[in-house]
Amino acid sequence: MRLYNTISRKVEDFVPINDRKVNMYTCGLTVYSQPQIGNWVAYIYSDILHRTLIESGFKVYRVQNITDVGHLVSDDDIGEDKMEKGARIEGITAWDVADKYIKVAAKESKILGLLSPDKLVRATDLITQQIDFVKGLEEKGYTYIIDDGVYFDTSKLDDYGKLAQLDIDGLQAGARVKVGGKKNITDFALWKFSPKDKKRDMEWESPWGLGFPGWHLECSVIARENLGDQIDIHTGGIDHIPVHHTNEIAQTESLTSKKPFSKFWFHNNHIKIDGTKLSKSLGNSYTLSDINDNGFSTEAFRLLVLSSHYQTEGNFSWKILESSSNRLSSFNAMADLQFQTNEKGVNYNFATAGLNLMKAMQNNLDTPGALTQISKVASDLEGKVINSSNSKEFRDYLELIDRLLGFNLSTRSDISTKQVNLLKEREVTRVNKDWIKSDKIREELLSQKIIVNDTSWGQIWHRID
């Protein structure tokens, strides 16, 4: 298996630190509001990576954080904590906001068919460990204190910014805001002090004063506590590269005496809406509910996302989603052939089709290539019946698609006994050349969302999903 590694800027053979065991960390949601479809793109791609690793024979242990404190509206340690902002907007506590949207995220993850991480950890569950982490950095001389908190001194590192390949000397203040007495514009908060004029919902005592952890701290601590000093893969969106992940590397490797934090860094690109940035102010911050309300399935949205390679920018529009829905329908029509095999049907080389699918996925998660291959098989089988002796290989192929891409082709149920009998009755009417009754039965089946086509192989049906 080969993957693009952000830190090396090239596609590499994926070789874990420990034989076939893979420790994987995924940056999770900040649970302060309703997730938008743009939020889910990163988790769909991480899910596909997880699935492909498993199918490639690796044993994956994946940890994902839940950011329920410390993520400020700016990445530069200024502005309001997103959780406190959510609490103010909704008129409830930050704790209640977190609980509410953790439940929403869990429900929507299930709807999307995402594999569950082996461990989901709230940032607020490891406050003591985060304080201890900062103590460790302080003992090693990497920290200093100013009016609003404890900061990491990036000038202590000669390789700060290596993930993003930052030109530190060339950075302008506008790229990283210099505020509150920071020594360097790239320095970042490890522990923020609570404001003196109001009480926060989420704040804790620490050796440095009442406050809360900086956003970057939680991922380093959660990863280290659950996966050790070094991990195999760290995933997230490309927006995390210049600040969040760069700072994770700085603080973790400083504490662990320069041990490489993650061997591979896996970053997905974003999705635009009608070619523009996803933004609430533009009214294009669609949710999964919006997709369903417009008559589309979340599986069609998943297919739309995977139609773009994870490293390229995707695009969402209702027209594109309609095309993805039609493509999914062709996959479902192919899957319905598993209930229509007979002794006179064709034999198809599903073993080769499966190998080609795996090759595409193991080649840096080439999901567009994988979908093209599935479309070819669906096109090859259109208007045909599969030989009964070939039915197991066909089911194996459908199951492989499901395991790799998270669709539900192999788990589709057969049509009802009543519908099967209608099809049998229609066969008799056609033998008897009773075309009027034949058409009437076809219309009856169509009213039940079953399309029947007459071919040289006989009747072939598929459902309208």
Residue 283 has a pLDDT of 74
Tell me which amino acid residue 121 is.
Answer: V
Determine, yes or no, domain membership for 240. yes
Task: For residue 343, give the CATH number of its domain.
Answer: 1.10.730
Determine, yes or no, domain membership for 181. yes
Determine, yes or no, domain membership for 34. yes
What residues does 268 pair with on adjacent strands? 237
Q: Which of 206, 235, 268 is the last residue of a domain?
A: 268
Tell me which amino acid residue 286 is.
Answer: Y
- Please report which confidence band the pLDDT of residue 52 belongs to, taking 50, 70 and 90 as the band edges: very high
CB–CB of 251/24 below 8 Å? no
CB–CB of 81/70 below 8 Å? yes
What is the total count of domains within the chain? 3
DSSP 8-state assignment for residue 232: E
Q: Which of 237, 268, 299 is the last residue of a domain?
A: 268
Q: By mean pLDDT, which of 73-77, 100-104, 301-305, 429-433 is the weakest?
A: 73-77
CA distance 217 to 149: 13
Determine, yes or no, domain membership for 286. yes
Is residue 190 predicted with pLDDT exceeding 90? yes
Is residue 178 predicted with pLDDT exceeding 60? no
Determine, yes or no, domain membership for 211. yes
Determine, yes or no, domain membership for 102. yes
Model confidence over 131-162: pLDDT tens digits? 999 999 999 999 999 999 999 999 999 999 99
Radius of gyration in angstroms for the set of CA atoms belonging to the chain, rounded to a whole number:
26
Residue 75 is encoded by which pair of tokens?
A: 């990445």
CB–CB of 149/194 below 8 Å? no
* Residue 259 shares a structural domain with residue 312: no
* Residue 72 shares a structural domain with residue 203: yes
Q: Tell me the percentage of the chain whose pLDDT exceeds 90.
A: 90
Question: Range of 291's domain?
Answer: 279-405
- Please report which confidence band the pLDDT of residue 285 belongs to, taking 50, 70 and 90 as the band edges: confident
Is residue 104 predicted with pLDDT exceeding 90? yes
Region 82-103: what's the mean pLDDT? Answer: 96
Selected residue with higher pLDDT from 174 and 398: 398
Tell me which amino acid residue 13 is.
Answer: D
Q: Could you tell me which of 75, 78, 91 has the C-alpha nearest to residue 30?
A: 75
Is residue 172 predicted with pLDDT exceeding 70? no
- Please report which confidence band the pLDDT of residue 210 belongs to, taking 50, 70 and 90 as the band edges: very high
- Please report which confidence band the pLDDT of residue 259 belongs to, taking 50, 70 and 90 as the band edges: very high
DSSP 8-state assignment for residue 241: I
* Residue 160 shares a structural domain with residue 194: yes
Query: What is the separation of C-alpha 289 from the centre of its chain, rounded to a whole number of angstroms?
Result: 17
CA distance 128 to 149: 17
* Residue 293 shares a structural domain with residue 427: no
Determine, yes or no, domain membership for 8. yes
Residue 75 has a pLDDT of 72
Phi, then psi, of 106 in degrees rounded to 5: -65, -40
CA distance 392 to 338: 9
* Residue 241 shares a structural domain with residue 320: no
Burial per residue of 401-436, b for 16 or more beta-carbon CB atoms within 10 angstroms, e otherwise: bbebbbbebbebeebeeebeebbeebeebbeeeeee
CA distance 125 to 309: 35
CA distance 443 to 355: 40
Phi, then psi, of 231 in degrees rounded to 5: -125, 165
Through-space distance between the first and last CA atoms of the chain, rounded to whole angstroms: 35
Residue 362 is encoded by which pair of tokens?
A: 């193991």
Q: What is the mean pLDDT of the chain?
A: 95
Determine, yes or no, domain membership for 376. yes
Q: Which of 405, 428, 452 is the last residue of a domain?
A: 405
Q: Could you tell me which of 417, 406, 401, 391 has the C-alpha nearest to residue 337?
A: 391
Q: Tell me the percentage of the chain whose pLDDT exceeds 70.
A: 97
